Amino acid sequence: MKNENQHIEILSDKLQKLECPKEKILELDLGCGKGNFSTELAQKYPDRIIISTDIMIGRLRKLVKRNQRLSLDNCRFIRCEAWHLLNQCIDDSSIYRIHILCPDPWPKEKHKPFRLISSELVSRLALKLQLNGIFHFSTDDKFYFESTLNIIGKADFFKRADFLINDILEIKTDFERKWNEMGLEVYHAAWQKVSQ
């Protein structure tokens, strides 16, 4: 088995473009965590390229090993900060579906500036999505969920379309699985890009 580090692309602050076959459908799991969602998505859609990104290289190493054991060859693993990836590394209108699942909600008032979801991020996601592409978001924090609904609700280029993730609702992140086992809810929403 090859060293798992050979399978992880580390995108530095220097400009690097992510190279993917143009004929393939691309899905981006932004902040993949332990990667259960990415792995199951890759199993469900072997004809698609699943791009799993995280800032924690240890998580990505474990994910590479798991996918090697499962003989999955339709995954890309990238260690990169989300803003750098979206600003410099992904072509516009190239991604079919972007998943941001259970990001840190930064629940304290003083930590709100650290939240990933903002109007600037939403604009950047729309730029990277294909026309009719899908943004999928989940969180266990009801306030963060409502805040996200409000932010995206102001964006003219997105239309709420939760039914567009019905094909993957059975796929859970490790965090969501644990949360559900405790009888707690994780909120999901999806939006379709309806204009450029």
Give catalytic residue positions.
104
Listed residue (159, 153, 172, 169) closest to 129, CA to CA: 159
Check: CB of residue 136 under 8 Å from CB of residue 99.
yes
Listed residue (174, 129, 119) closest to 28, CA to CA: 129
* Distance of alpha carbon 1 from alpha carbon 117, whole angstroms: 38
Check: CB of residue 138 under 8 Å from CB of residue 188.
yes
* Distance of alpha carbon 74 from alpha carbon 63, whole angstroms: 13
Phi/psi-derived region of residue 20, left when phi > 0, alpha when psi is between -120 and 50, beta in every other case: beta
Kindly report the length of the chain.
196
Residue 98 backbone dihedrals phi, psi, to 5 degrees: -115, 130
